[in-house]
Amino acid sequence: MKTVLITGCSSGFGLETARHFLANGWKVVATMRTPQPGLLPASEHLRVLALDVTSPVSIQAALKAAGPIDALVNNAGIGMLYPLEGTPMETTRSVFETNTLGTIAMTQAVLPAMRARGAGVIVNVTSTVTLLPLPLLSVYTASKAAVNAFTESLAIELGPLGIRTCLVLPGRSPSTRFGDNAWPRMQEDKPAVYEPLMESVFAAVRGDGPMTHAPDVARAVWRAVTDPAAPPRIPAGADAEELAASLG
């Protein structure tokens, strides 16, 4: 029985992905900053571990407790939807620490064991905002676009070692805590000139139309992990697939 370690399992995409792998016969190591009982169905094949991807000590402790893993899913992330002019550099650094450097640190930490076995899969969950520029998302988009470039370069580096890397790109979703996580970072002072833009963007985010739901992402991650012929980029969700098709 194979084992997957998934980061950011307290809600949304990570939580649903953990459920999906459990239901399909995998051992699952579900990680989150603060483990919460009852989020996932009780199973002898489930372990819930504390993990802060910005902490080297936390990463090493979680991987030691997890034991050998066949697949790593880097899903942990924080949102940021705000004008750059009103965004403190401290906030920007915190977004990159989790979204970008956390992904890199987790990947680097699992590589020695995967390389020794000559097998492994690393899936990085980013976003379709990296495919189409949008206002108020410059910091968040940059943090995720960096992961795209990191993943695609790493695929060439690790492929000869038997290790696959893949990107999953969700679209706009009502089922994650992106807005909740972003809101505390949206309270900084900002010039009033940005107010109309913010109102229109927030309305668009909450609007109708195709969306990405957590099961869409879970299925895309499952494909990335289990299908050796999976493409290097997998859009997840109706809006994500529609956008990817329009861009060719």
Q: Which two tokens stand for residue 130?
A: 């990296």
* Residue, of 132 and 55, whose pLDDT is higher: 55
CB 139 within 8 A of CB 87: yes
pLDDT surpassing 70 at residue 55: yes
pLDDT surpassing 90 at residue 188: no
Angle between helices 102-117 and 56-66 (to 10 degrees): 40
Centre a 10 Å sphere on the Cβ of residue 207 and count the other Cβ atoms it contains. Answer: 9
pLDDT computed for residue 198 by the predictor? 85
Range of the structural domain that residue 215 is part of: 3-247
Catalytic residue flag (residue 140): yes
pLDDT surpassing 70 at residue 170: yes
User: pLDDT (tens digit, 9 = 90+) per residue, 226-236?
Assistant: 999 999 999 99
Determine the average pLDDT of the residues in 163-177: 86
Q: What is the DSSP string of 114-173?
A: HHHHT-EEEEEE--GGGTS--TT-HHHHHHHHHHHHHHHHHHHHHGGGTEEEEEEEE---
Using DSSP's 3-state secondary structure scheme, residue 227 falls into coil
pLDDT surpassing 80 at residue 23: yes
Number of domains in the chain: 1
Least confident of 72-86, 99-113, 183-197: 183-197
**CATH number of 50's domain:** 3.40.50.720
Least confident of 7-16, 131-140, 183-192: 183-192
CB 236 within 8 A of CB 219: yes
CB 22 within 8 A of CB 1: no
Centre a 10 Å sphere on the Cβ of residue 95 and count the other Cβ atoms it contains. Answer: 22
Determine the average pLDDT of the residues in 165-185: 72
pLDDT computed for residue 195 by the predictor? 87
pLDDT computed for residue 77 by the predictor? 95
pLDDT computed for residue 203 by the predictor? 78
Determine the average pLDDT of the residues in 210-236: 97
Query: What is the C-alpha separation between 31 and 66, in angstroms, rounded?
Result: 10
Average pLDDT over all residues of the chain? 92
pTM above 0.85, yes or no: yes
In which element (H, E) is residue 28 found? Answer: strand 27-32
Share of the chain above pLDDT 70, in %: 94
CA torsion angle for 225, 226, 227, 232 (degrees, to 10)? 0
pLDDT computed for residue 37 by the predictor? 82
Q: Which two tokens stand for residue 93?
A: 């650094």
pLDDT surpassing 60 at residue 180: no
Active-site entry in 21, 26, 96, 140: 140
pLDDT surpassing 60 at residue 82: yes
Q: Could you tell me if residue 67 is left (phi over 0), alpha (psi between -120 and 50 degrees) or otherwise beta?
A: left
